[in-house]
Structure 1
């Protein structure tokens, strides 16, 4: 288990708890009272820390190396029913963007999402979750296929941004993202978007238009990362914490500004601390969200989605 800087008090208490339990197991000394006392203090410390997280600390949690990624959610939610589909039928199969058909219960869904790696080799293979234009075109191909067969779409967002390389720009990165946004606004099946980690810039928006946009509690969604914002404004990464606060990128900030529809509660300690609970919560939230839209006609669905996005950023005195 890896710990972030602000989680070090939790690490110390967990080590004390483990040592006390080991002493009790290896000897005849009764340490039950001590263990209960440490356990109580541990729970109180966790509640105190995670209740008062800053924006930057939530950014750190969203990038936690043990945090589940898109394929983890899909495999946990769909089991053996998931069939991954590949390629954009034009350039190649982008490994940073995955997608395919799967079932939750008796209901089929088309899943798309960015996929990160968990070690150096897989991070390079997945290009750190930064999709090229062919990744967005693959996602659009799958979504259009879902529309053809009347299958709802679920999009998992977890990316530091679209890949900014020269080759990506040559192949039309901006056009690919813009095309996805346009096509998703008028897709005739329900779209449920779940932000499970980082939601940065156009890389997130390229699969981020939905009838219901959900954010896990310890994720962020913004036009730019705190580090990049700090680098532009202050010519240094030292002000990333200030930038994170100023960007208003947390789930609470997004909900307050009506840019998302719902916050999905995470277990105490973050999504990685209890994966099964997180998977079940996300699964139930997806099904509940789908129920809101399953009986709408394609015309009403598109009109409602268009109205939702047209009203964003409109304020009345």
Structure 2
């Protein structure tokens, strides 16, 4: 099937309508003789987007370009939510497309992207084993006051067993059951992304009867004009998740504690930051030593 990319034309019936006082101006301007019959041997196939089956563009927003961008973002981040945010689509619609019966290519590209993103997981594992995780510290009112770092010793042992099996045991043992067939290898991400778009056969306009192909091309041109004027857009856009706020009671207690602190007078040598980000010093700090 062919879908016309871009073309602004008035309907054939409107182009040949007689000019009357009630005829719109655009009909009068478009009045021209009828077009000659379509010659399938001379027209340009590159004017159309060829697809395996005749269908309208996806109204849910998951166009081939959006699918490719999603897979590439998923391969870079390894996070479905980040990939959905990159293409401004909801996470739920991404999973629905992956689980759809006709979306086998998208599902395979998804798996290839996650396999490529596994390298990022390995990099994070090294970071956790060497630098550790940041553990936030909170005061009694639930407000963050600092952080400490905790090294993941179990992650460090796992990495040592995997990369130094001659010195650390168990990593070299084969866990595959006898007779178990290995899983088929996943294609590279670039190959999986390219497979999302079916290849265009040579001379696709000659694979169908001339009369039927002419009707399909005329229909594709008409739909292209309608889609250009009224583009369908039923996509579920990405929504930023809500951040959990501090408990109101903890916030109120922290505010009361700050008010009490500012109500206390400063002694000699005391310094504090005022609400307007100024500096307040205790009495006697500005006195010059005698």
TM-score, L = length of structure 1: 0.19
- Return the structure number with greater relative CO, CA threshold 8 A, min gap 6: 2
Counting strand residues as a fraction of each chain, which structure ranks higher? Answer: 1
Structure with a larger share of its residues in helix = 1
Query: How high is the TM-score relative to the length of structure 2?
Result: 0.21
